[in-house]
Structure 1
Amino acid sequence: MKIDLTETTASKVNKALVQGRRAIGTPAVGMVLTLVIVTDEENAYDALKAANEASREHPSRTLVVIKRVSRSPRDRAAARLDAEVRVGTEAGTGETVILRMYGEVLHHAQSVVLPLLLPDAPVVVWWPVNAPLDPAKDPLGALAQRRVTDSYAAEQPIHELTARSAAYAPGDTDLSWSRITPWRSMLAAALDQVPGKVSAADVEGEEFNPSCELLAMWLADRLDVPVTRSFSSGPGLTAVRMETDHGEIVLDRADGSLATLSMQGQPDRAVALKRRETSELLAEELRRLDPDDTYAAALKFGVDRLGAPSDKPGRPTPDQAPEEPKKAAPAAKKTAPAKKAASK
């Protein structure tokens, strides 16, 4: 069921939600959280689709905040709120409210969202694109226990990751971190089978992929060993190699779906390691709403390791076309110093 409201208020939206629930015969629904999606009109459809699929696991009230900038000076001055209320099959397993804000309302989005939050339920704010530099200090982000960004969607992903490091607050997370969960699980399981100690590691993947950077940070932080970054054409992460006292451990995924785990003295094993959809990543983040200390530690190590973007010679920014590598040249690498050395 859909209810369209033009030039409305938060109070009228709440009444429409109650009206919609009664009309479909479900006056009481069990929703576990409020998910606030802050996006633009272009990306709203994909974000809402991912949220509806994630709601199968986490029934929630989804508030989509779309800030519209009018071209006409007269329209820019006029404050207006349009809303679309969806309940029943139109909203997955929860409720959906699409809020389109114009004029002065753009600067007070938190005042519109606050009355629509579920009482006594956690709040998660997700920016699919164009996240603020400091999500915790954003007016909408301040309402949430969990703030989800996606560095991969930024124009300059590595710069965005550096900004996340500088502005980190407990409750912040990034879908680029969620993308490497299966990799971290597989690598940890492989190390449990090898009695030797890791002496070095190498992470191979796309050059401007923040997930590759985060995995390298995590390995360097947890293992306290030098970690190098090799660049490939992708897709995404393609391989991780770890040198141990008992030989090399290699997790290689060349096609983005099936990986091969190789360890000294054991037969090679095929491992399902497909690239996951946004809805799966979002559902994973909604499973736990407490601060992710492991992500925070990896991100903090990244501040010391990456430094300022200008400190990395030979690495072009995303708005510059990288030079064509020579066919005979080996893969470019950058080395992460050991954790102890970084703190000196």
Structure 2
Amino acid sequence: MKIDLTETTASAINKALVQGRRAVGTPAIGMVLTLVIVTDEENAYDALKAANDASREHPSRTLVVIKRVSRSPRDRAKARLDAEVRVGTDAGTGETVILRLYGEAIDHAQSVVLPLLLPDAPVVVWWAVNAPLNPAKDPLGALAQRRVTDAYAAEQPIEELTGRADSYTPGDTDLSWTRITPWRSMLAAALDQAPCTVTSAVVEGEEFNPSCELLGMWLASRLDVPVTRTDSAGPGLTAVRMESSGGTIVLDRADGSLATLSMPGQPDRAVALKRRETSELLAEELRRLDPDDIYAAALKYGVERLQVAGKGTAAADDKPAPAGGEAAAQGQDAPAKPAAKKAGAKKAAAK
């Protein structure tokens, strides 16, 4: 069921939600959280589809905030709110309200959203595009326990990671980090099976993919070893190679679906490592509302400390590298490390 409201108010939207629930025969509220999606008109459909799919696991009230900038100076000064209320089969397993803000209402989105939040329920804000540099200080982000961004959607993904590290607040996370959860689990399990000392690692993946940098920073922060970043044709992450006292451990995924795990003294094994849809990533993030300390540690390690294949240590007076690709990942090489940690202490790194 869909209800369209033009030049409306939050009070009228709440009444429409009650009316819609009664019309479809579900007067009780069985939702567990409020998901606020901040997006633009172009990406609203994909973001809402991902949220509806994720709602099968996490029934929620979904509020989609779309800020519409008018070309007319007169219209820009006039505050206006249009809404589309969806309940029943049109809204997954929860409720959906699409809010289109015009004029001065754009600068007060939090005032529109606040009366529509579920009482006594957690709030998660997801910026599908154009995330603020400091999500916790954003007016909408201040309402939430969890703030989800996606560096891959930014124009300069690698610079975006640096900004995320500078402004990190407990509760922040990024879908670029969520994408590497299967990789981290697989690598941690491999080190558990092969007790050895890791001395260095290489992360291979396509350019401008922040997940590759995050995986490199995670390995460097957890193993305390130098990590080199190399580029490939993709898709996404393609390989991780770890040099150890027992030989080379390789996790290679050339086609974006099936990977091969090679370990010293063991036969090669095929493992499922499929690239996941946005709805799966979002569902994973909604499973936890506590701060992700491992993500924070990896993020604060710093992109500039990763090494780049074929380049030496950056001079102390070198200017920062531009965002994206090898230049962005270069920065200043990590200093020489002491003897690497034992692998048995790494399994806690995976989610």
Q: TM-score, normalised by structure 1?
A: 0.91
Between the aligned partners of 1:251 and 1:334, the Cα distance in structure 2 is 26
Is the alpha carbon distance of 1:335 and 1:273 closer, same or farther for their aligned partners in structure 2, counting shifts above 3 Å? farther
Residue 234 of structure 1: how far off its partner (Å):
0.8
Residue 206 of structure 1: how far off its partner (Å):
1.1
1:254-284: per-residue Cα shift (whole Å, max 9, x none)? 1110100001110000011010000000000
Between the aligned partners of 1:278 and 1:302, the Cα distance in structure 2 is 26
Between the aligned partners of 2:70 and 2:199, the Cα distance in structure 1 is 58
1:52-98: per-residue Cα shift (whole Å, max 9, x none)? 00000000000000000011111111110000000000000000000
Between the aligned partners of 1:47 and 1:231, the Cα distance in structure 2 is 29
Contact 1:231 1:333 (8 Å CA) reproduced: no
Residue 196 of structure 1: how far off its partner (Å):
1.0
SS, match of residue 220 in structure 1: helix
Structure 1 partner of 2:272: 272
Between the aligned partners of 1:133 and 1:176, the Cα distance in structure 2 is 15
Letter in 2 for 1:337: A
1:183-216: per-residue Cα shift (whole Å, max 9, x none)? 0000000000111111111100112110000000
Structure 1 partner of 2:334: 337
Letter in 1 for 2:299: L
Mapping for residues 153-164 of structure 1, pairs under 5 Å: 153-164=153-164
Structure 2 partner of 1:136: 136
Is the alpha carbon distance of 1:340 and 1:115 closer, same or farther for their aligned partners in structure 2, counting shifts above 3 Å? farther
Contact 1:149 1:174 (8 Å CA) reproduced: yes
SS, match of residue 251 in structure 2: strand
Q: TM-score, normalised by structure 2?
A: 0.89
Is the alpha carbon distance of 1:190 and 1:338 closer, same or farther for their aligned partners in structure 2, counting shifts above 3 Å? farther
Structure 1 partner of 2:14: 14
Structure 2 partner of 1:71: 71
Residue 337 of structure 1: how far off its partner (Å):
2.0
SS, match of residue 56 in structure 1: coil
Mapping for residues 20-59 of structure 1, pairs under 5 Å: 20-59=20-59
Contact 1:198 1:223 (8 Å CA) reproduced: yes
Residue 335 of structure 1: how far off its partner (Å):
8.2
Between the aligned partners of 2:76 and 2:229, the Cα distance in structure 1 is 47
Q: Does 1:295 align with 2:295?
A: yes
Contact 1:216 1:229 (8 Å CA) reproduced: yes
Contact 1:220 1:336 (8 Å CA) reproduced: no
Between the aligned partners of 2:200 and 2:303, the Cα distance in structure 1 is 20
Structure 2 partner of 1:91: 91
Residue 333 of structure 1: how far off its partner (Å):
7.9
Between the aligned partners of 1:78 and 1:12, the Cα distance in structure 2 is 19
Residue 334 of structure 1: how far off its partner (Å):
8.1
Letter in 1 for 2:334: P
Contact 1:228 1:334 (8 Å CA) reproduced: no
Contact 2:305 2:331 (8 Å CA) reproduced: no
Structure 1 partner of 2:102: 102
Which is worse superposed, 134-143 or 228-237? Answer: 228-237
Between the aligned partners of 1:79 and 1:243, the Cα distance in structure 2 is 60
Contact 1:221 1:339 (8 Å CA) reproduced: no
Unaligned runs of 5+ in 2: 307-313, 339-351
Contact 1:224 1:339 (8 Å CA) reproduced: no
Contact 1:216 1:228 (8 Å CA) reproduced: yes
Letter in 2 for 1:128: A
Residue 237 of structure 1: how far off its partner (Å):
0.4
Residue 109 of structure 1: how far off its partner (Å):
0.4
Letter in 1 for 2:137: K
RMSD (CA atoms)? 2.1
Structure 1 partner of 2:218: 218
Residue 305 of structure 1: how far off its partner (Å):
2.0
Residue 302 of structure 1: how far off its partner (Å):
1.5
SS, match of residue 7 in structure 2: coil
SS, match of residue 302 in structure 2: helix
Contact 2:68 2:100 (8 Å CA) reproduced: yes
Contact 1:228 1:335 (8 Å CA) reproduced: no
Structure 2 partner of 1:198: 198
Residue 311 of structure 1: how far off its partner (Å):
4.0
Letter in 1 for 2:169: A
Between the aligned partners of 1:235 and 1:286, the Cα distance in structure 2 is 26
Letter in 2 for 1:142: A
Letter in 2 for 1:47: A
Structure 1 partner of 2:305: 305
1:108-143: per-residue Cα shift (whole Å, max 9, x none)? 000000000000000000001100010000000000
Aligned residues: 328
Is the alpha carbon distance of 1:253 and 1:19 closer, same or farther for their aligned partners in structure 2, counting shifts above 3 Å? same
Unaligned runs of 5+ in 1: 324-331
Is the alpha carbon distance of 1:339 and 1:165 closer, same or farther for their aligned partners in structure 2, counting shifts above 3 Å? farther
Between the aligned partners of 2:231 and 2:201, the Cα distance in structure 1 is 14
Letter in 1 for 2:175: L
Percent identity between the aligned chains? 82
Which is worse superposed, 224-233 or 87-96? Answer: 224-233
